[in-house]
Every structure is written in structure tokens, then in C-alpha cells.
Structure 1
Amino acid sequence: MPVPDTRRGLLIILSSPSGAGKSTLARRLMGWDPTLSFSVSATTRPPRAGEVDGTDYRFLDEADFKALVSDGAMLEHAHVFGHFYGSPLEPVRAAIDEGRDVLFDIDWQGAQQIKTSVLRDHVLSIFVLPPSIAELRRRLVSRGQDSAEVIAKRMQRSWDEISHWDGYDYVLVNDDLDVTFDRLKTIVSAERLRQPQQPGLRGFVRKLQAEFEEERHAL
């Protein structure tokens, strides 16, 4: 009698201050397991050049977005710079039921909403810390993507984000990217084996119990 290999998917949340390495770790994780997928967020902002509806975002008008929130059809949502952003529930629920993991790159506020949602039993939340504030600043500067003003704003937000580290299941200090990635893979591999992720175990144990009773009666 083989052990059932079916499982429920995980809702994997990665959060960190900008520059701590979260995006790089997410890309590596998806390269390690190509079955992983990113959650496609919904937004009320207009599409930018080259963005594809349903691939980059689900583009909704404000009335439709608010209706989804009212109906409880958003795992999390926020109002940012004049537009709404959120994570639709049903695509994530379907993926989890099919045994596929979904990756979320969101802040602590979105993470808290998801951890109290109807899918809370399948959430794995991980916070990534920088080894030091000086190193965090160095990484932001070395990317060469932002102006000094933008970097200053990101640094100002960093402490607020870091202050919520203890609301996560796991915390990784990213002082060595390769070591941190190995630890991330270990966490995901172990969490996939948690009891709630293996719906076939209950039936498997019942069969073991039935076999045990048959053996007892045969004695």
C-alpha cells in the first residue's frame, strides 16, 4: 500500500525591506521548482506599456475591484498612490486545491490579511532581513535603479517593515545569498510535508488501522 503522494499547495509569502534580496530569492525559488507560480494581482491603475492583462496584472475598474472586496473575493488589498491593489482569492484557492504552490511578494500588511484569510491553514510566511542597515543601503545604491531621493524614501520605510519581522513563520538573515537560498529551499520542502498539506494521509491511516484489525482477528 503506497503512501499517498498528493498534497495541498502552499501559499508562500516572501516579505522584506527593499534591497534585502527578496526578489532574487523568489526568482531562484521558481528556477528550483518551475511548478511554482506568482500570484497575479488585481489593480485599478491603468496598464503601462507592454503590460498584459491576466499576466502582469488583472486590470479592473474601481467599482469591480470594490465589489470583489465586498464579496470577500480578495485575499488582501490596499490603496497605494491613488490606486487599489489586491490578490484575488479564487485563482489561489484553485491552485492550492490542485497541489500547486503560489508565491506572493507582498508587504507585512498584505501578509497579515492573508494569514487571517480562509486560506490561513496553508500559508507559509517568510521574512528576509539584511545583515546590516549599511549593507541594505549599499545594495540599494549599487542597483543603480533609483535616485538618491527614492533611495532615501526606501530607507525610511525599511524600519517600519523590519519592525514586523516577528509576525512571520520564519525569518532569514540574508548575509550570504547561496546559504540563504539553501535555507529557503529547506523550509519550503519541510512545509510541504505538514499534515494539513497531505489530505491523503487520513485515508492512508484508516487503511493501516483496517489492516491492523484484520491481523488481530486472524490471530
Structure 2
Amino acid sequence: MDLVITTKLALVDAINPCVLAIQASLLAVLLTKSRRDALIGGILFTITIFIMYLLYGLILHSILSMFYDYVRIFLLVLLLVLAILEIAAYFNYKPGLISIEMPIKLRPLANQLIENTKNPLIAIPLAILLSLFLLPCSSGPYVSFLGLQKTIDWVLLLYYLTIFVSPMILITLLVYYGFSPEKIKEWRDKHIRELHLVAGILLLLVLLYLI
């Protein structure tokens, strides 16, 4: 597994519009109580997502490694499909129908959980549920990363996940130091098409590199 490929796939995961919106909404609710609650909630949210994706990664890799000699062609096709979907989203965006967004039908449940948040500890079950909802519709880059390794490289895995959660850390710090969560959501909504385009280009570059 190449460091460049790992970085590009992790960046695709990191710019996930769904996670950005959910975390911003959570921090907005906690911020009505105190900046300290928002900071604790953001940290717990990030750590939980990191741990859940680490566990998913170990499980997925144990499955994919059994078919390592046959999985490469599948991964190349997967990367091609994902790249096409992401680039197409830039020209014809439809919420919830693209590979790195939570389906529309699942969003009311996530929003309900956020609205009922009473303390920052709620960030833990919320992150667990979000990771369960998000993994099936956003696992393409992560599956590709895991499937390209015959044996797990722990350094690369932790590096991947660190890049993946880096926007969550940044958003938490921005909100704690006074940046409005609403501004983050506005920025996300304004640039969501560009986020998909960047994701598509990165996936296409990984595909071309592997070919």
C-alpha cells in the first residue's frame, strides 16, 4: 500500500458532507449550554468515530484478505463507479443519492437524536449510530484502502483514520474558539458540489495510479 494512495483515499473520506453537517448540528445544540460542553462533545464524537471505524476496518480487512487475489479487479471497478458518481454530483447534485452521504430517509432520526441532546456524553451513542448509518453508503474509499492490503499495515491504518477525523477536530476547535456552527453548515451547503468534485478527482487519480 502506497502512502500517496492512502492519503488520497483518506481525504475523500475526510471531506464527507454528512459528517460535517451532523457534527456542526451537534455542536450547535451543545453550544447553547456552554462552550465547554461543545468542546467535550466534539472530542467524544471524534474519538468514538475513530474507534468505530478502526473496529470496522479490522472486520472488513479480515473478510477482504481472504479474497485478496481476486478482489483487485472489484476494487478498480468500485473506484471507477465512485469517481463517476462524485464527479456527476458536481453537475447534477441530488442530496442523499451520492456515495458519501447519508440517505435522506435516515436523516430525520439523526436530527431527532441531536435535538434531544442534553449533555456532551450523548455524542458517544450519536457517533456510534452515525457510523452505522454512514458506513454502508460511504465505505467505498475505506474498503478500497483495506482491500489493497494483504496484511494490515497498522501505521497506514492509523494514518488514514487520523486524516479521516481531522476535519472533526478542526470543527470542534473552531466552534470552541467562537466560530458559529451555522456558518460551518452554510459553508458545507454552499460548497457541497465542489466537495463531491474534489472527491471524484481524488478517486480518479487513485484509479489511474493503480492501473
TM-score of Structure 1 vs Structure 2, range by shorter chain: under 0.3
Greater helix proportion: 2
Q: TM-score, normalised on structure 1?
A: 0.25
- Structure 1 or 2, whichever has the larger Rg, is 1
Pick 1 or 2: higher relative contact order, CA cutoff 8 A, min separation 6: 2
